[in-house]
Structure 1
Amino acid sequence: MTVTFLGTGTSQGVPVIACGCEVCTSADHRDKRLRSSILVQADDKTVVIDSGPDFRYQMLRANVQHLDGVVYTHEHKDHIAGMDDIRAFNFKQQEAMNIYADTRVQAALMREFPYVFAEFKYPGIPQVTIHPIGLEPFDIGSIHFVPIEVMHYKLPVLGFRINDFTYITDAKTVSESEKEKIKGSKILVINALQKQSHISHFTLDEAIAFANDMGAETTYFTHISHRLGKHADVAAELPPGIELAYDGLTLTI
């Protein structure tokens, strides 16, 4: 299985519109961050986790020719806004796209894309098949997902463990029972928004402490804001076994 980081930025992406900070004006390609999403490719299935506003470009940039499903972490716009662009896969594959979402995300999709779920369906709109998910494990072909509930301030968000790989965005707190699902992962991906305190995201120090607590062989930070600093500078400060993810990074699991 391979995992490709389609985007590693926070809700505004990096660079931020109209920002002239050293991160947003950096020439380092690792400081160009689309909204957070990953591509998971197994022998029999290809899925993405989240389809944010950059979904179309992410699919083009990664040259994704076939997609079996979209799995959602939560309903915020930077994680669902690109869902309409599954239409291209509907046309090429001649089938509805499988959408895996909890009840809150389903409600948000229906609210944001009402034409997809209307009784009268206009020609050419996205075709979807909804698969409800919660905290019970589920499979997409050979890919086994174990949902992990984390708290994004007061909003529950789903992370996912796939074999020895765990992916979590938008976390601020994680219960002890959910931490048990993470422990033993060889690769952990978690959010590290910025160095300053934040109400709903891990800071850099909090993310490092969480990584040390979980004890994965390698931890990658994602969902990064321009406030964190330049990739090269922050990477040089990180402890062994902890790295910054960047757009286009591919892991073999």
Structure 2
Amino acid sequence: MKITLLGTGGSAGLPQIGGPDGRGDWGQTDPNEPRNTRTRSSIVIQTSEQKNILVDTAPDLRFQLTRCGIGRIDAVIFTHAHADHIAGLDEIRILNRILGAPMPSYATEPVWTELRQRFDYAFKPYNGGFFGRPVLTENVLTPGDAIEIMGENILPMDQDHGYSRSLGLRIGCAAYCTDVVRLDEAAMAELQGLDVFIADCFTPEKDHPTHAGLPTVLSWVEQLKPKRTVLTHLGPEMDYRTLCNTLPPGVEPGYDGMVLEL
């Protein structure tokens, strides 16, 4: 199994729109370091059976998949319904054509409710034929209840995302916990024994209202003791080289296109 980090940026990506010349605001990061260029956070899980599970449909999805050489998706999981994680949903129609079938898709019931409101055309009855719009097969996830997706056992975990909830995912010896500011005792118990911990880390100091800061993530690492921790959902204060030079052993910044072999 392997995990590809399609995108590792915050909701505005990096560079953000703006800047003194209108060509982008890099915040406190070095524009000459290519790994500071970040699209919105998403991953692909390639299972031991060579199936590709996409986690979230970011606005940059077409670019992300073509850049990483991933030409087929077999299932989609939605962690939550914020725009930076669902706005690329229309790209599923092309993935439908490649798959030749409606896309097996997984989310909690509240997320399905929001998706139906925002993308009502994707939920109209499908009667076969050409995929002119995305077509999804709805499967409901319940936090704490493991489910088999494409032959892989996946445990969705409830997460505190500040003003809302999101899902973390435990996949065998790995976990993907984006868009989280606090992990409760139940989540910490579910995250024991990790080889790879991919964790939301938006700021270098104090927590953002909806995202963990570096001190919080390092406190999780101290408790969980994963073999390897990779930071994602990195904000405009999180310079790649600075992080590489200052993070403790076993903790590293992720970057777009990074592949983690498991």
Normalising by structure 2, report the TM-score: 0.91
Structure 1: runs of 5 or more not aligned: none
Of 138, 145, 149, 2:154 maps to 145
SS of the residue 2:35 aligns to: helix
SS of the residue 2:222 aligns to: helix
Tell me the alpha carbon deviations over residues 219-239 of structure 1, each in whole angstroms, 9 at most, x when there is no partner.
1110001122x2001221101
1:241 alignment counterpart: 250
SS of the residue 1:74 aligns to: coil
1:125 alignment counterpart: 133
Q: What letter corresponds to residue 161 of structure 2 in structure 1?
A: H
RMSD: 1.7
Q: Distance in 2 between matches of 1:211 and 1:145?
A: 21
Tell me the alpha carbon deviations over residues 212-253 of structure 1, each in whole angstroms, 9 at most, x when there is no partner.
11110111110001122x200122110111010111110110
Tell me the alpha carbon deviations over residues 160-207 of structure 1, each in whole angstroms, 9 at most, x when there is no partner.
111100100011111112210001111101111012431111111111
Instruction: Give the CA deviation at 1:120.
Output: 8.5
SS of the residue 1:30 aligns to: helix
Of 95, 101, 116, 2:101 maps to 95
Q: What letter corresponds to residue 17 of structure 1 in structure 2?
A: I
SS of the residue 1:226 aligns to: coil
Instruction: Give the CA deviation at 1:21.
Output: 4.0
2:197 alignment counterpart: 188
Q: Distance in 1 between matches of 2:231 and 2:126?
A: 43
Contact 1:7 1:34 in 2 (8 A): yes
Cα 1:14–1:96 shift into 2, 3 Å: same
Q: Distance in 2 between matches of 1:244 and 1:138?
A: 29
2:175 alignment counterpart: 166
Q: After TM superposition, which residue ranges in structure 1, 4 or more long, deviate above 6 angstroms?
A: 120-123
Contact 2:27 2:237 in 1 (8 A): no
Q: Distance in 1 between matches of 2:260 and 2:251?
A: 14
Q: Distance in 1 between matches of 2:169 and 2:126?
A: 35
1:63 alignment counterpart: 69
Is the aligned partner of 1:29 residue 2:34? yes
Of 192, 197, 218, 2:228 maps to 218
Q: Distance in 2 between matches of 1:125 and 1:211?
A: 42
SS of the residue 2:237 aligns to: helix
Structure 2: runs of 5 or more not aligned: 20-24
Q: Distance in 2 between matches of 1:184 and 1:79?
A: 28
Contact 2:203 2:235 in 1 (8 A): yes
Question: Relative to structure 2, which stretch is displaced further, 28-37 or 87-96?
Answer: 87-96
Q: What letter corresponds to residue 14 of structure 1 in structure 2?
A: L
Instruction: Give the CA deviation at 1:86.
Output: 0.9
Contact 1:44 1:142 in 2 (8 A): no
Q: Distance in 2 between matches of 1:9 and 1:207?
A: 16
SS of the residue 1:125 aligns to: coil
Q: Percent identity?
A: 30
